[in-house]
Amino acid sequence: MPDCKELILELADLCGVIPDYWDILGTRHWASPETKTAILRAMRINVDSVECLQREIAERKGRPWNRLLEPVQVISVTAQPAAISLSIPLEEGLERSLTISWTILDEMGRFCSCILPGEKIVPVASEVIEGKRFVRILLSDTGRRRIGYYDVQVVCRHAQPVFSGGATEISGFARMIITPDECYLPPELVSGRVWGVSSNLYAVRSGRNQGIGDFADLESLVRLAGECGGGFVGINPLHAIPNTYPYGISPYSPVSRIYKNHLYLALEAVSDVQESDECRKIVSSDSYRKQEEEVRNADALDYEAIAALKEQVLRSAFAWFYEHHWQRSSQHAQKFLDFIKAEGDSLLAFATWCAMRDSFCAMQRSDAWQQWPEQYHSPQSDAVTAFRKAHEKSILYYQYLQWLVHEQHNNAAALTQELHMPVGLYHDLAVGSVAGGSDVWMAQEVFAQGISVGAPLDDFNPSGQDWGFPPMIPEQLRETGYRFFIESIRKNMRHGGAIRIDHALGLFRLFWIPDGKLPLEGAYVRCFAEELLRIIALESVRNKTVVVAEDLGTFGDGMREMLQSFRMLSFRLLYFERYYPDPNFKRPEQYPDMAIAAVTTHDLPTLAGFWLGRDIDVKEQLRLFPHPEHIGRYREDRRHDRTRLVRALKERGLLPHDFPEAPDDLPVMTPEIALAVHAYLARTPSRMLSVMLDDLMGLVSQQNLPGTVNQHPNWVQKTAWKLEEVRERSWLHAFAEASRQNGR
């Protein structure tokens, strides 16, 4: 009889746990039995005994046969008419007495039905499992269908009670998803190249906001970029976050990826704020103006103070709306009602979670739903239903906020079209949501427990990374027809012309780290990559959204090629584009054309910070290097990077031939070098080129230092200058001219 260890290894393999991986230093790591056991438990798989393990293994091995239909079938639009595979428990010789009927329902509610009589049933395969015979039958669809989502119902009837329990019929349901083979590209990117500016919206200063960049600032940035000939404006994820320090301020650790942070609302653009006497009284008061000035002029964001400032205005605006519009069923209220109906159960669940969080936080409980009374742990529980009835107005308030966000976000997107920007808003989709948030609460069946997502060590994160949120379980995503994944992608494409899929490696495999363990003790878990990519392509085409796959990190064979086959743009950063093991920078013409080129990201040093080695200094101060003896080598490599980069720029005629090259002659990043670096990237064939607003300003400190929470000023740093000053200083105009002169 096999022991538990052997069975764990077999079951882990069946569940997609990859036994080993190579890190960026060329070291091979093997997943321990303890790690594999923890991952299986996180998938809610019973591993408590030999019998349980054997049962789980048998169930997975028998899955291709022991259910009538697979829960989902993802099919290329070119692979039609589609074949629907059935597995029917049937004794030999009984096929001719069988009748199969099926119905295919499209998204408009239209359906077609077909019947296959016994004399036309031809099994293509058979298998005996535990003494029971199963036959494989392929149903051919009646024609070619458009891309989209379809519900399939199949009923198998027999004249005799031949099925389990003496039944004369069995039935099954499946989701059929017909997808394009490529993502969307606008005409301007099919045959041309564009540039754009990217910024963390929360960090944007202006003379009018309430201490945090908002949708009005986004419109100002869009106008500035559009006037200079820019094709897009990139921003950080706008996902809903707690807005509490220190753990609730990262846009990459949201409570929901489906809904957004209402702190981005521009208050003066809310009609109910303008109409309400109480709102006007609040914003004109001396105390409000003083607080507004304090948060606006502060060097760092105070999320809680900003939230309190905006909250009092928004609650008063909602009170006005509720009394003067909602209860009177005005046209204004009808628009809101239409939004609620269109959003459906997801918005209701999110708003309910927000209202319950308020209630339980007031009782000094955690905002994580796992710490609430147990009867509120399920969105479908009687206690939650009763809460909704008792707190209807509070829930409506949070639905109202998302409606305002939707309207203002939509206005910013419409402005990009008005200015004829080829791409428009370029959004960012975080990898996941925190365990205690609304996404996990409303879709618990697809999220793992007791585990978090992260990454092995790399050049900039020598200890690896633990991102602190749970992964979605690949098996469960398929079992639920990918509904939650689809909604997450669709909602984040809704207002933009492009989207960056953060950590696109996670579409192939995700690095799971058991709670309480170091990243070194994690392991990769395989995903159903092609199905996920096809769904992204479908939503891309439907929403006319360019997809950028952030393909940094340790990629396996064929992964980048597969992303490219779906016409997803690669993400290429100057820092990493080298002739490894030769550390010299790649020439512009050697960048791929199907890519977005940039210098850096929020998780990496700014151009000025890279030049100074500021990231190395900070990591040394915080003792983030697992091998301090290597710090000297990092510093020396960075000093030589200055020379390497200057030489590359001089070879292209972007700096004078007599420009100094010695590291000691180049102590700081100058505007001349910075502009030359971006001109260098402008010469690449890459379809998109992004310049960070922080780099235009010459800022030194990076927005986020992975591996830290409050040890570094993550997510709170503001831009050094206001948007009005950015316009006056003509930084973007200079970059635009350099891009134009270099063929973009």
- The string of pLDDT tens digits covering residues 80-133 is 999 999 999 999 888 888 999 999 999 999 989 999 998 889 899 999 988 899
Residue 122 lies in a domain: yes
Residue 47 lies in a domain: yes
Residues β-bridged to residue 155: 101, 171
Give the confidence band of 26 by pLDDT, cuts at 50, 70, 90.
confident
Q: 58 and 93 share a domain? A: no
Q: Is the pLDDT of residue 75 over 80?
A: yes
- Of 160 and 541, the one with more pLDDT: 541
- Of 92 and 490, the one with more pLDDT: 490
Rounded-to-integer distance, Cα 492 and Cα 238, Å: 9
Q: 83 and 130 share a domain? A: yes
Rounded-to-integer distance, Cα 574 and Cα 290, Å: 43
Burial class of residue 122 in the structure, from the number of CB atoms within 10 Å of its CB (0-12 exposed, 13-18 middle, 19+ buried) = exposed
571: amino acid identity, one letter: F
Rounded-to-integer distance, Cα 688 and Cα 691, Å: 10
Q: 89 and 170 share a domain? A: yes
Structural domain ending residue among the three candidates 34, 62, 90: 62
Residue 107 lies in a domain: yes
Residue 325 lies in a domain: no
Q: Is the pLDDT of residue 487 over 80?
A: yes
Q: 90 and 24 share a domain? A: no
Structural domain ending residue among the three candidates 147, 179, 211: 179
Residue 29 lies in a domain: yes
Tokens 């079951």 belong to residue: 11
Structural domain ending residue among the three candidates 155, 179, 203: 179
Residue 89 lies in a domain: yes
Domain count, the chain: 2
Q: 48 and 124 share a domain? A: no
Q: 161 and 90 share a domain? A: yes
Alpha carbon separation from 283 to 212, 264, 293, 403, 481 (Å, rounded): 16, 17, 12, 22, 48
Q: 3-class DSSP state for residue 521?
A: helix
Q: 47 and 108 share a domain? A: no
Residue 644 lies in a domain: no
- Spatial neighbors of 667 by CB under 8 A, at least 6 apart, are none
Segment 375-403 shows an average pLDDT of: 98
Tokens 């428990």 belong to residue: 89
pLDDT value for 23? 82
Rounded-to-integer distance, Cα 138 and Cα 125, Å: 10
Q: Is the pLDDT of residue 463 over 80?
A: no
Q: 93 and 44 share a domain? A: no
Tokens 């259910």 belong to residue: 67
pLDDT value for 628? 84
Domain that holds residue 127: 78-179
The per-residue pLDDT for range 333-376, each reduced to its tens digit, is: 999 999 999 999 999 999 999 999 999 987 766 679 999 999 99
Segment 421-432 shows an average pLDDT of: 98
Mean pLDDT over the full length of the chain: 95
Residue 149 lies in a domain: yes
Q: 137 and 53 share a domain? A: no
The CATH number of whichever domain residue 130 belongs to comes to: 2.60.40
Q: 161 and 89 share a domain? A: yes
